[in-house]
Amino acid sequence: MKSENSPHDDGYSSGMVIRGSRNIFTVLLEDETVLECRIKGKVLKGVEGYYNPLAPGDRVSVEADPLHPGTGKITALEKRRTVFTRFNQKGSSSQLLAANADLVLCVTTPASPPFRPRFLDRALLQADAAGIPPLIVVNKSDLFTGDTVSDDLDVDERLEDFRRIGYTVLNVSAKTGEGLDELRSLLEGKFSVLVGQSGVGKSSLINALLPFSNIRVGAINEKYDRGNHTTTQAAMVELPGSENEKRTWIIDTPGIRRFVPDGVKAGETILYLREFAPLAGKCTYGLSCSHRVEPGCKIMEAVAAGVIHEDRYESFLRIQDELEGKNYVD
Ligand SMILES: Nc1nc2c(ncn2[C@@H]2O[C@H](COP(=O)(O)OP(=O)(O)O)[C@@H](O)[C@H]2O)c(=O)[nH]1
Ligand SMILES: [Mg+2]
Ligand SMILES: [Zn+2]
């Protein structure tokens, strides 16, 4: 296979998927050309078990499609280093959000929309379960009032607890530019995935990091996903100014209202919550403990001792129930 040739001259090439639906994929080839591609034949090895066969970040082999000049056919998929997925309720299957991601940016806000630790807990759990380092990005930090308003105190207190249990929390503002230099340096040379509820400012952050991009900002994402069975993904965006040899990429994940963890069994929940994991198996009833009523439950003891925040315990119970019964009622 000649990897240096573009499929435009009937050769073969390799490239990276930068956008995809369920059957049409945009591939950035090695010669920097961009090609719309379909999967060759009915099956592609390595894509089994997912709602969408390929995701941004996937490395693929491409050949020219003689029947449709100017388009390509994907003939092979390179083994993925990481997969960032979520459980797609509509499709009742695993949805690939990104392949080969190096970093998951869990975006949240102190207000507008209100701080939602439940979403954060789920996204963090998914990143840890996938073995991809997560980073908590608190956007709209310009909306922290600085007054001793009880709402803000709660947010501060919760963010402090996320720091305590080992997460990096970065305060930024797409509006004022606060924290963006630090964020940029953390993204350099990596492929990062943004995840967060609609309205937290994911598109705004990409725009702020990349002044020339023209991603639409506004309340369009809710509409975007509703009733759209093909689940169009946002395109990967390359961030400029990297002095590193490795290129810097970022991708948005539009339209996630609720993050249902994927690929984690109910009984494994404890393993992917950082401050819970060291206690796994230590309860009197071992791994069969439900951590709700049993005497000698190390999790309940840790909650009583303040080692596990009550709010995280609440999240843990909800996630465990949800994974147990696949019960998605809010
Ligand atoms: N005050 C403030 N507003 C912001 C900031 N970032 C985004 N917004 C606003 O929040 C709204 C939602 O932003 P958008 O980027 O579309 O959010 P997305 O749904 O996560 O992509 C828009 O009205 C933005 O102007 C910020 O840092 N501070
Ligand atoms: Mg958006
Ligand atoms: Zn227990």
287 occurs within a structural domain:
yes
| Separation of alpha carbons 12 and 73, rounded Å | 10
Residue range 157-163: mean pLDDT, rounded: 95
194 inside domain: yes
Q: Is the pLDDT of residue 123 over 50?
A: yes
Cα–Cα nearest to 192, from 99, 102, 95: 102
CA of 203 relative to ligand 2 center, distance in Å: 4
Residues 176 and 208 in one domain: yes
pLDDT bin (cut points 50, 70, 90) of residue 21 is confident
Q: Choose the final residue of a domain: 224, 251, 278.
A: 251
Rounded mean pLDDT, 126-154: 83
The larger pLDDT score, comparing residue 73 to residue 154, is at 73
Between the CA of 74 and the centroid of ligand 3 the distance, in Å, is: 48
Q: Point out the ligand 1 atom lying closest to the alpha carbon of residue 198.
A: 19
- Ligand nearest to the backbone CA of 301: 3
- pLDDT of 216 > 70? The answer is no
How far apart are the C-alpha atoms of 330 and 317, rounded to whole Å? 13
Do 242 and 280 lie in one domain? The reply is no
Same-domain check for residues 173 and 316? no
Q: How many domains does the chain divide into?
A: 3
Which residue would you say has higher pLDDT here, 326 or 319? 319
Q: Which two tokens stand for residue 93?
A: 């299957």
Is there a single domain that holds both residue 245 and residue 321? no
CB distance 141 to ligand 1 below 6 Å? no
- Residue 180 to residue 174: CA distance in whole angstroms: 8
Q: Are 167 and 226 within one domain? A: yes
Q: Are residues 211 and 287 in the same domain?
A: no
Residue 261 lies in a domain: no
- Is residue 120 scored above 90 in pLDDT? yes
- pLDDT tens-digit map of 187-208: 999 999 999 999 999 999 998 9
What is the mean pLDDT of the segment spanning 256-276?
93
Q: Last residue of some domain: 77, 108, 132?
A: 77
| CATH number where 39 lies | 2.40.50.140
Backbone angles phi, psi at 107, to 5 degrees: -95, 135
Question: Per DSSP, what are the bridge partners of residue 134?
Answer: 104
pLDDT of amino acid 51: 86
CA-proximal residue: ligand 1, atom 1 (nearest) = 140
Residue span of the structural domain in which 282 resides: 266-325
User: What pLDDT is stored for residue 9 in this prediction?
Assistant: 53
Is 1 part of a structural domain of the chain? no
Distance between CA atoms of 153 and 323, rounded to whole angstroms?
31
Tell me the residue type at 219. A
For residue 5, name the pLDDT band (cuts at 50, 70, 90). Answer: very low
Is pLDDT of 7 > 90?
Answer: no
Q: Is the pLDDT assigned to residue 318 strictly greater than 80?
A: yes
Does residue 213 lie within any of the structural domains?
yes
Q: Residue 46 C-alpha to ligand 3 middle, in angstroms?
A: 38
Q: Is the pLDDT of residue 94 over 50?
A: yes
Q: Identify the CATH number of the domain in which residue 288 sits.
A: 1.10.40
Whether 259 is covered by a domain: the verdict is no
Q: Which amino acid is at 155?
A: V
End residue of a domain, out of 47, 77, 107: 77
Query: Residue 219's pLDDT is what?
Result: 30
C-alpha torsion 189→193→198→199, nearest 10: -10
Q: What tokens were used for 248?
A: 């810097």
Q: How much is the pLDDT for 197?
A: 93
Q: Is the pLDDT of residue 58 over 60?
A: yes
Is 275 found in the same domain as 312?
yes
Q: How far is the CA of 132 from the centre of ligand 3 (A)?
A: 27
Q: What is the pLDDT of residue 253?
A: 86
Could you give phi then psi for residue 261, rounded to 5 degrees? -60, 150
Residue 200 near ligand 1, beta carbon < 6 Å: yes
